[in-house]
Amino acid sequence: MPFASDSAADARFHAIREAGSRSPRCFRGEPDKSDSSRPISEIFGINTFNERVMREKLPGKVFRKLRQTIRRGEKLDMEIADSVAHAMKEWALERGVTHFCHWFQPQTGLTAEKHDSFLSFDDEGQAIERFSGSQLIQSEPDASSFPSGGMRSTFEARGYTAWDPSSPAFIVEGANGKVLCIPSAFISYHGEALDQKAPLLRSMEAVSQRAREILKLFGQKDPGRVTTTVGPEQEYFLIDRSFFHLRPDLMAAGRTLLGAKPPKGQELEDHYFGSIKDRVQAYMQEVEFELYRLGIPAKTRHNEVAPAQYEMAPIFEEANIAADHNQIAMEVMRRVALRHDFALLLHEKPFAGINGSGKHVNWSVQSAEGVNLLEPGDTPERNLQFLVFLVSVLKGVHKRGALIRSGVASAGNDHRLGANEAPPAIVSVFLGEQLTRILDAIERGENSQESTEKRILSLGIGKLPIISRDQTDRNRTSPFAFTGNKFEFRAVGAAFSISYPLAMLNAAVCEALEEIGSELKQRLKDGAPLNRAVMDVVKAAIVETKAVRFEGNNYAEEWVEEAERRGLPNLKTTPEALDVLTRADDKRLLKRLGIFSAEECEARYHVKMERYIKDLEIEVETVRDMAYTMVLPAAYRFQGELSNSVESAGRALAQLKLDARVSGSIKRQSDQLLGVLEQIGGLHESLESLDRAMDKAGRAKKVGEHGRLLAENVVPALAKVREHCDALEEKLPDGYWPLPKYREMLFIS
Ligand code: ADP
Ligand code: MG
């Protein structure tokens, strides 16, 4: 192999050798290797303070009260807090836990924790373990270092974390000890939401209230709590850790800011559902082992479309728990990756030119009895009810597409949405052929003379559950697709906390449920029979929301034009999308539903815009650094050698009086030199333009303007820099290139 011993690429070749010679890792070996061969049912949830443990450890009365709090999403009765804390501590101590923490989700996209030991002293000064109800319920981290968007001025830096009893406490096992984590919401001194969880919980409550109103119209006297159910499919990349450490861009920005396309990418379509490499499978198995212990119901694993890309999908749960579990899962995946000498990439677009990663968030609503309200039923009543919920979703997405889009806005996701391989930034709904036929028939008023029962059945709804779940009735390009008994929201980015996107989606649907509910109520009050009233309201909603339904190819250029004609918003960049949070109408909605006050909206806007700005600043700094300290030096070196070569060949030509064939070879060498010189010149110019674009953006007076200028000028300037770097990568000798190449990162593991 051409290992040039004195070259900057030494480290790279070393990494290639390392990555190529690793073998699959066994389980961590601790606490008990044999655990991994036990049935999943035996290890599932053993590190969680779940209902079974509560029942076992708590006095009957306390257990019943706590369970009620959890099931109904109610406030915790302070009287039982000490008792619950005591039981939790006893359970944790039995499992070797020494510390506890309130585990919460500030607006960084990550989770936060501050550990406290159980250590305390009794009256005699003896060391003991203590954990009180108040420690369980609330803690007061210094909130001033978390993003708040101006919600807290520094003199009022207090923020509280408050236990969310609906999400089970869990134990995180480290190499040298265990920590009890208490899922918590993070709120300011005045009760404003500072985290991801609070808005999700509020939106779930809002959906529940409106959905219950509808259920009442269908004759349920006192319907219990309606929950949002969610199953997030998580896509990710795994590359060898040695490569990761040699890429400043992956380390700082999470994505490759340069890197030429490999000769083979995903063209052969040989990766999706392909057999999983041993090393990767060993990784997945250990991840699942850890997830099961934490009560996270991982269900499927497979290769994804791009090389080195994979997916993990859990069984769906109540949204709040699914969101917590997804955050924990991302963290577990990251940690286990290190143990297997992988680096986990959760960025939405780690590699240019091949598929990015998203989170397909499967979403539905479920009654207190566990009935999926988006599942067509066996009876006419059920199907009427199904139609009401279905058109409410259509209505919500139709009216609030922009708000939903704003919920998935980030610098990373901008590379995915609208990049012709992921759902576009235009939010439309795919229903599938079956349902489209049914809605079209309802719209035409077909069979309207017949009884509702007959009509619904004759429309084929009774057969829906079987037929529409057929794999062929799929549209992989839609951002929001009905898949038989739930919607799949595909525009969420892989690195996202799903809480915020869900809160925005819930808000949109909530408003529609409210409107549909009150129209129904009015008609019933006017004396219409239920069937009639429902079909009229459903029909009106179908007509109203027609523009948002799209069954074609969402990646096609024609769709962009068509969507524009239909009046659907196409918010291509994050700053455009975030502007929605400043619109009076959207703010009013969020406020009315109790999800965000006007101030909280403002704060979210600031936090998200500032994050966008910082993400881009990091990218710019990193790419400058790589260009000046890695790419250009390598290019100069080759350029110097080429010049020498051309020169000495010219001398030889003169001395030896060689013929024209040889002078052609010199001409080609000088062309090669010229090509390198051109790219070096181009790279310098593009770096200077990048600096100018940054300066201009930096002079903006407001964050929104700053963001907009970055999106308009800096993002394309970054792409230009990349173009020249990538051209140089293709021109320079392999042994001079210091950065792991795409072909290595994507194919060696
Ligand atoms: P598909 O083949 O349509 O992708 P799966 O059954 O594999 O369907 O489900 C994909 C994801 O959707 C899984 O995470 C699953 O748990 C979740 N899911 C299924 N039903 C629901 C539901 N009612 N609400 C939310 N998520 C659901
Ligand atoms: Mg799916």
Residue with tokens 């791009």: 306
Q: Report the residue among 315, 316, 326, 369 best suited for mutation to probe ligand 1: largest number of ligand atoms under 8 A from its CB.
A: 316
Confidence of residue 454 (pLDDT cuts 50, 70, 90): very low
d(CA 603, CA 69): 30
Tell me the CA–centroid distance for residue 556 and ligand 2, in Å: 22
How large is the average pLDDT for residues 83-106?
Answer: 94
pLDDT surpassing 50 at residue 458? no
Is the model more confident about 4 or about 46? 46
Nearest residue (CA) to ligand 1, atom 2? 471
pLDDT surpassing 70 at residue 273? no
Check pocket membership of 313 for ligand 1, CB cut-off 6 A. Answer: yes
Residue 187's pLDDT is 87
Residue 515, exposed/middle/buried by CB under 10 A (0-12, 13-18, 19+)?
Answer: middle
Residues in Cβ contact with 203 at an 8 Å cutoff, skipping those fewer than 6 apart: 228, 502, 503, 504, 506, 507, 510, 593, 595
Residues in Cβ contact with 668 at an 8 Å cutoff, skipping those fewer than 6 apart: none
Closest ligand 1 atom to residue 375 Cα is: 23
pLDDT surpassing 90 at residue 72? no
How large is the average pLDDT for residues 129-154?
Answer: 78
Kind and range of the H or E run holding 160:
strand 159-163
Closest ligand 1 atom to residue 372 Cα is: 23
Tell me the CA–centroid distance for residue 236 and ligand 2, in Å: 15
Sign, Cα dihedral of 331, 333, 334, 338:
positive
Check pocket membership of 362 for ligand 1, CB cut-off 6 A. Answer: yes
Confidence of residue 73 (pLDDT cuts 50, 70, 90): confident
pLDDT surpassing 90 at residue 707? yes
Query: For residue range 327-375, what is the model confidence (pLDDT) as tens digits?
Result: 999 999 999 999 999 999 999 999 999 899 999 999 999 999 999 999 9
Phi, then psi, of 485 in degrees rounded to 5: -150, 20
d(CA 141, CA 199): 20
Residues in Cβ contact with 56 at an 8 Å cutoff, skipping those fewer than 6 apart: none
Closest ligand 1 atom to residue 316 Cα is: 16
Ligand with minimal distance to 367 CA: 1
Tell me the CA–centroid distance for residue 365 and ligand 1, in Å: 12
pLDDT surpassing 60 at residue 452? no
Residue 4's pLDDT is 45
Of the candidates 695, 683, 670, the residue with the CA atom closest to the CA atom of residue 725: 683
How large is the average pLDDT for residues 107-127?
Answer: 89
Amino acid, res. 430: F
Residue 269's pLDDT is 66
- CATH architecture, domain 612-747: Up-down Bundle (1.20)
Residue 480's pLDDT is 95
Nearest residue (CA) to ligand 1, atom 19? 316
Closest ligand 1 atom to residue 315 Cα is: 16
Residue 565's pLDDT is 96
Nearest residue (CA) to ligand 1, atom 4? 483
pLDDT surpassing 80 at residue 32? no
Closest ligand 1 atom to residue 231 Cα is: 14
Confidence of residue 2 (pLDDT cuts 50, 70, 90): very low
With vertex at residue 526, the alpha carbon angle to CA 522 and CA 531, rounded to the nearest 5 degrees, is 80
Residue 34's pLDDT is 55
- Asked whether the domain spanning 612-747 has the same topology as the one spanning 41-195, the reply is no
pLDDT surpassing 70 at residue 695? yes
Tell me the CA–centroid distance for residue 109 and ligand 1, in Å: 24
Is the model more confident about 632 or about 466? 632
DSSP 77: P
Of the candidates 365, 363, 322, the residue with the CA atom closest to the CA atom of residue 226: 365
Is the model more confident about 457 or about 33? 33
pLDDT surpassing 60 at residue 3? no
Closest ligand 1 atom to residue 484 Cα is: 3
With vertex at residue 219, the alpha carbon angle to CA 214 and CA 223, rounded to the nearest 5 degrees, is 65
Sign, Cα dihedral of 464, 470, 475, 478:
positive
Query: For residue range 652-663, what is the model confidence (pLDDT) as tens digits?
Result: 877 877 666 677
Tell me the CA–centroid distance for residue 362 and ligand 1, in Å: 6
Confidence of residue 466 (pLDDT cuts 50, 70, 90): very low
Nearest residue (CA) to ligand 1, atom 1? 483
Confidence of residue 451 (pLDDT cuts 50, 70, 90): very low
How large is the average pLDDT for residues 285-308?
Answer: 93
Check pocket membership of 326 for ligand 1, CB cut-off 6 A. Answer: no
Contact call for residues 230 and 317 (beta carbons, < 8 A): yes
pLDDT surpassing 80 at residue 275? no
Query: For residue range 569-602, what is the model confidence (pLDDT) as tens digits?
Result: 999 999 999 999 999 999 999 999 999 999 999 9
Residue 152's pLDDT is 58
What per-residue string of b and e applies to 278-314 under the rule 16 or more CB within 10 Å gives b? ebbebbbbbbbbbbbbbbbbbeebebbbbbbbbbbbb
pLDDT surpassing 80 at residue 155? no
Q: 669 vs 397, 568, 662, 665, CA distance in Å?
A: 59, 54, 11, 6
pLDDT surpassing 50 at residue 470? no
Confidence of residue 30 (pLDDT cuts 50, 70, 90): low
Ligand with minimal distance to 314 CA: 1
* The dihedral formed by the CA atoms of 430, 433, 435 and 439, expressed in degrees to the nearest 10: 90
The partner residues of 336 in beta bridges, in order of sequence, read none
Q: 650 vs 136, 265, 641, 654, 669, CA distance in Å?
A: 81, 40, 14, 6, 11
d(CA 300, CA 315): 9
Tell me the CA–centroid distance for residue 505 and ligand 1, in Å: 17
Check pocket membership of 259 for ligand 1, CB cut-off 6 A. Answer: no
How large is the average pLDDT for residues 381-401?
Answer: 94
Other C-beta atoms closer than 10 Å to the C-beta of 672 total: 16
Q: Report the residue among 486, 489, 498 best suited for mutation to probe ligand 1: largest number of ligand atoms under 8 A from its CB.
A: 486
Residue 424's pLDDT is 80
Ligand with minimal distance to 483 CA: 1
pLDDT surpassing 50 at residue 455? no
Q: Report the residue among 362, 369, 375, 476 best suited for mutation to probe ligand 1: largest number of ligand atoms under 8 A from its CB.
A: 362
Output the DSSP codes for 551-616: -S-TTSHHHHHHHHHHT-----SHHHHHGGGG-HHHHHHHHHTTS--HHHHHHHHHHHHHHHHHHH
Confidence of residue 9 (pLDDT cuts 50, 70, 90): confident
SS (H, E, C) 381-427: HHHHHHHHHHHHHHHHHHHCHHHHHHCCCCCCHHHCCCCCCCCCCCC
Residue 659, exposed/middle/buried by CB under 10 A (0-12, 13-18, 19+)?
Answer: exposed
Q: What mean pLDDT value characterizes the chain?
A: 89
Tell me the CA–centroid distance for residue 465 and ligand 1, in Å: 13
pLDDT surpassing 50 at residue 457? no
Q: What percent of the chain has pLDDT over 90?
A: 71
Tell me the CA–centroid distance for residue 644 and ligand 1, in Å: 63
Check pocket membership of 364 for ligand 1, CB cut-off 6 A. Answer: yes
Tell me the CA–centroid distance for residue 359 and ligand 2, in Å: 10
Helices (H) and strands (E) counted in the chain, each on its own, are 27, 17
Residue 660's pLDDT is 62
CA 678 to chain centre: 40
Residue 141's pLDDT is 75
Lowest mean pLDDT among 98-107, 222-231, 307-316, 422-431: 422-431
Residue 374's pLDDT is 95
DSSP 272: T
Residue 441's pLDDT is 85
Length of the chain (residues): 749
Superfamily name with CATH number, domain 41-195: Glutamine synthetase, N-terminal domain (3.10.20.70)
Token pair in block for residue 461: 């709804």
pTM over 0.75: yes
Query: For residue range 175-216, what is the model confidence (pLDDT) as tens digits?
Result: 889 999 999 999 887 888 889 999 999 999 999 999 999 999
pLDDT surpassing 70 at residue 7? no
Of the candidates 563, 591, 571, the residue with the CA atom closest to the CA atom of residue 491: 571
Query: For residue range 414-447, what is the model confidence (pLDDT) as tens digits?
Result: 999 967 666 789 999 999 887 888 898 888 887 5
Check pocket membership of 549 for ligand 1, CB cut-off 6 A. Answer: no
For the chain, give every domain's residue range.
41-195, 196-229+373-596, 612-747
Q: What percent of the chain has pLDDT over 70?
A: 90
